[in-house]
A and B are shown apart, each in its own frame.
Chain A
């Protein structure tokens, strides 16, 4: 019988927990709350219930339910919330984490395996958390002759670039982090940074497998960037704008994929190549060059690159949805918020709870989020699916596909869009 902790005593365990709780409470009361108060004096506070929220009243929302929701709503309009939580990083990271789990489980089912099984009671649902803890607790090993500054910076830059891409995606009407007039051009500018980071990371590792993988990634990304840009121009021609929110809003009656199916197919194929997914996973071909440009990354550096990869996957799928599938438009499926809760409150036996500040989101926004997430999840499913079906493509076939076939098809798509525009059927001032 193995004994993990031979000197374990329950009483000492409880005592240590109580000790920790005591010290945490003491430090929070003596340092934490005053520090929060000091910071609050420098922040512009919102007006709640017709009264300016001063730092003295800032913590009253914990005890006063009539202030809770208005303060949360005021917080939700800030830039910090948008960047960190809802249309930005947190939302995307949540979807990305879901994608990782679904990918592993779905691939296993496609290949008649079991997949993640033991972590968590139901079908290995906690596998992702376990993997994350493992990656965080692992030692980061840097190769001896690596170029340390670039090697350290590359994973962080990768995640930051992917997050910048995510920031441009409109999730619901009015819910976008950066609503730029030149949103699509900003997407092209940001996509251009990925090959730089990849090749720098690969070169800095000073090892041959990462370098081969990095050069393959560079070839692949640069040659597929051109059909990617060209395939999106059809929607721009028909919409007359580069703003992603306006492109999404312009598809309220029909999505552009009906008129631009060739552009959608070209964009989907280039998307697979930009994401280095099977059948275009030459940069990470694990049976040839270990793990490609990720070979020397260890611990949380690898975890960051993986997070960035799946954020990028979400962002590309969302871009496909915004440009070809109508974004947040769709049939109104979300039920309206019950009026009597706003007017009368919730009755709980003898008590009636009045909750001011409801509803938090309007029905249109909630329905937009639902439509967007449903479509994005569908596109992500189709991005994952080839991994269980196709083998890896040869490099000369890959470059041939990118430079000859896809660019030609993208031009065909542009001419279809131009024809529809000049025939007066679609676009600004068209029949439909």
Chain B
């Protein structure tokens, strides 16, 4: 059962990833990207971490994919995309991807993944939370500062003065 689910999820994830890259229609491409992100959430479910899976769905599918979709819908495709068919670029791209995959695979295989025992109980998400506020608290605070800096910067950039004497101008 788990094997069948794993196979189906792999097909969905990889297939929709390829579709996201290859489809000419940008909206369908972003829907395929949603499929990829949802498939990854499925992998997290198979790995006994529903907490991460739900956040994957809520953040990546629920927010980031929506933003991509929204941007795509407001863009006139002809203005920014010209159909450039360049054989050499394609081959260089494929070669680069292969190099990247091989090196990443070597790192992962070298990291002791073969010695992992699979019958251990799943990590409780409460422990993750406790680790975050005890051992990893500097990282948490750093992340918070970076995020608030980014949000403040975005607000400053997006600010517009269109108010005079408390009445809207236009």
Q: How far is the CA of A200 from the CA of B69 in the complex (A)?
A: 9
A222 at interface, CB cutoff 8 A:
yes
What's the least CB distance linking A194 to chain B, in Å?
9
Q: Is the CB of A192 within 8 A of B73?
A: no
A26 at interface, CB cutoff 8 A:
no
- Give the residue name and chain of the A residue nearest to B62 (CB): A192
Q: How far is the CA of A100 from the CA of B130 in the complex (A)?
A: 46
Q: Is the CB of B50 within 8 A of A192?
A: no
B31 at interface, CB cutoff 8 A:
yes
B51 at interface, CB cutoff 8 A:
yes
Scan B106-127; emit 1 where CB is below 8 A from any A CB, else 0.
0000000000000000000100
Q: Is the CB of B70 within 8 A of A189?
A: no
Q: Is the CB of B125 within 8 A of A182?
A: yes
The A-B contact count (CB < 8 A) is 60
Q: Is the CB of B62 within 8 A of A191?
A: yes
Q: Is the CB of A185 within 8 A of B58?
A: yes
Q: Is the CB of B63 within 8 A of A182?
A: no
Q: Is the CB of B61 within 8 A of A192?
A: yes
In this complex, how many residues of chain A approach chain B with their Cβ under 8 Å: the count is 23
A271 at interface, CB cutoff 8 A:
no
Knowing A182-B50, A182-B125 are in contact, say whether A192-B69 is a contact too (CB < 8 A). no
Q: Is the CB of A222 within 8 A of B125?
A: no
B12 at interface, CB cutoff 8 A:
no
Knowing A195-B66, A196-B66, A218-B70 are in contact, say whether A188-B58 is a contact too (CB < 8 A). yes
A186 at interface, CB cutoff 8 A:
yes
A193 at interface, CB cutoff 8 A:
yes
Q: Is the CB of B54 within 8 A of A185?
A: yes
A74 at interface, CB cutoff 8 A:
no
A199 at interface, CB cutoff 8 A:
yes
Contacts of B31 in A (CB 8 A): 150, 200
Q: Is the CB of A193 within 8 A of B61?
A: yes
Scan A297-326; emit 1 where CB is below 8 A from any B CB, else 0.
000000000000000000000000000000
Contacts of A189 in B (CB 8 A): 54-55, 57-58, 61-62
| Interface range for B | 10 to 19
Contacts of B27 in A (CB 8 A): 147, 150, 200, 203
Q: Is the CB of B54 within 8 A of A182?
A: yes
Contacts of B62 in A (CB 8 A): 188-189, 191-193, 195-196, 225
- Give the residue name and chain of the B residue nearest to A241 (CB): B126
Contacts of A147 in B (CB 8 A): 27
- Give the residue name and chain of the B residue nearest to A191 (CB): B62
Q: Is the CB of A192 within 8 A of B58?
A: yes
Q: Is the CB of B73 within 8 A of A185?
A: no
What's the least CB distance linking B123 to chain A, in Å?
12
Knowing A180-B50, A181-B50, A218-B70 are in contact, say whether A192-B57 is a contact too (CB < 8 A). yes
B17 at interface, CB cutoff 8 A:
no
- Give the residue name and chain of the B residue nearest to A180 (CB): B50
Knowing A193-B61, A196-B34 are in contact, say whether A222-B54 is a contact too (CB < 8 A). no
Q: Is the CB of A188 within 8 A of B54?
A: yes
Q: How far is the CA of A180 from the CA of B51 in the complex (A)?
A: 10
Q: Is the CB of B70 within 8 A of A199?
A: yes
Tell which of B51, B66, B69, B70 touches A185, judged by Cβ atoms closer than 8 Å.
Answer: B51
Question: Most chain-A Cβ atoms within 10 A of its Cβ — which of B58, B65, B168?
Answer: B58
Q: How far is the CA of A196 from the CA of B27 in the complex (A)?
A: 12
Scan A171-203; emit 1 where CB is below 8 A from any B CB, else 0.
000000000111001101101110110011001
- Give the residue name and chain of the A residue nearest to B59 (CB): A192
- Give the residue name and chain of the A residue nearest to B65 (CB): A196
- Give the residue name and chain of the B residue nearest to A222 (CB): B66
- Give the residue name and chain of the A residue nearest to B67 (CB): A222
Knowing A192-B57, A199-B70, A200-B31 are in contact, say whether A222-B63 is a contact too (CB < 8 A). yes
A373-400 CB contacts (< 8 Å) to partner B = 396
Contacts of B61 in A (CB 8 A): 189, 192-193, 196
What's the least CB distance linking B17 to chain A, in Å?
18
What's the least CB distance linking A224 to chain B, in Å?
13
Contacts of B168 in A (CB 8 A): 396
Contacts of A396 in B (CB 8 A): 168
Q: How far is the CA of A182 from the CA of B61 in the complex (A)?
A: 18
Question: Most chain-B Cβ atoms within 10 A of its Cβ — which of A188, A191, A225, A396?
Answer: A188
Q: Is the CB of A199 within 8 A of B73?
A: yes
Contacts of A225 in B (CB 8 A): 62-63
Question: Most chain-A Cβ atoms within 10 A of its Cβ — which of B34, B51, B70?
Answer: B70
Q: How far is the CA of A180 from the CA of B168 in the complex (A)?
A: 48
- Give the residue name and chain of the B residue nearest to A147 (CB): B27
Q: How far is the CA of A192 from the CA of B57 in the complex (A)?
A: 8
Tell which of A185, A193, A196, A215 touches B55, judged by Cβ atoms closer than 8 Å.
Answer: A185
B63-107 CB contacts (< 8 Å) to partner A = 63, 65-66, 69-70, 73
Contacts of A200 in B (CB 8 A): 27, 31, 69
Contacts of B125 in A (CB 8 A): 182
Which residues of B approach A to under 8 Å, CB–CB?
A: 27, 31, 34, 50-51, 54-55, 57-58, 61-63, 65-66, 69-70, 73, 125, 168
Listed from nearest, the 3 A-B pairs whose CB atoms lie closest are A192-B62, A189-B57, A185-B54
14 A-B interface contacts by CB (under 8 A): A181-B50, A182-B54, A185-B55, A189-B55, A189-B58, A192-B57, A192-B63, A195-B62, A196-B34, A199-B70, A200-B69, A203-B73, A225-B62, A225-B63
Q: A182-B125, A396-B168 are in contact. List 13 more A-B contacts (CB 8 A).
A: A182-B51, A182-B54, A185-B58, A189-B54, A189-B57, A189-B62, A192-B57, A192-B63, A196-B62, A199-B70, A218-B66, A222-B63, A222-B66
